Chain A
Amino acid sequence: MQVQKQLEKQVDAAGINGCPTCAFEIVGDSYMEGEVVTCEGCSAELEVVGLKPLRFAEAPEVEEDWGE
Chain B
Amino acid sequence: MKKIDLIYTRLRTEERMILDALRKRECDVELHQDSDLVLPLDAERWSGGNVVLMRSMSLTRSRYLAAILEVKGARVVNSSRAITTCGDKILTNLALAAHGVAMPWSFAGFEEEACVAEIERRGYPVVTKPAVGSWGRMVARIEGRSAAEGLMQMRFETGSAQDHVGLVQQYIDKPGYDLRVYVMGRTVGGIRRRSEHWVTNTARGAVPERYEVPESHAKLAERAAAAVGADIAAVDLLETREGEILVNEVNHCVEFARSIESTRLPLPELIAEYIAGVHP
Contact = CB atoms under 8 A, between A and B. Distances in A.
Given A66-B58, A67-B203, A35 B16 contact: yes
A65 B60 contact: yes
Interface string A21-45: 0000000000011111000000000
A33 B8 CA distance: 11
Contacts of B13: 36
Nearest to A1: B38
Contacts of B253: 68
A62 B203 CA distance: 12
A26 to B, nearest CB: 15
Main secondary structure of the interface of A (DSSP, over half): loop
Interface residues of A, number: 16
A59 interface: yes
Nearest to B252: A68
Q: Chain B, interface size: which category?
A: 20 to 34
Contacts of A64: 133
B265 to A, nearest CB: 16
Interface string B1-38: 00000001111110010000000000000010100000
A47 B67 CA distance: 28
A68 B87 CA distance: 8
Contacts of B251: 68
Given A66-B134, A67-B255, A68-B251, A34 B58 contact: no
Nearest to A38: B13
Given A65-B60, A65-B134, 14 more contacts: A34-B8, A34-B10, A34-B33, A36-B12, A60-B10, A63-B58, A65-B59, A66-B57, A66-B58, A67-B134, A67-B255, A68-B134, A68-B252, A68-B254
Interface of B: 8-13, 16, 31, 33, 57-60, 87, 132-135, 203, 234, 251-255
Interface of A: 32-36, 47-48, 59-60, 62-68
7 contacts: A32-B11, A34-B33, A35-B16, A47-B10, A66-B58, A67-B57, A68-B252
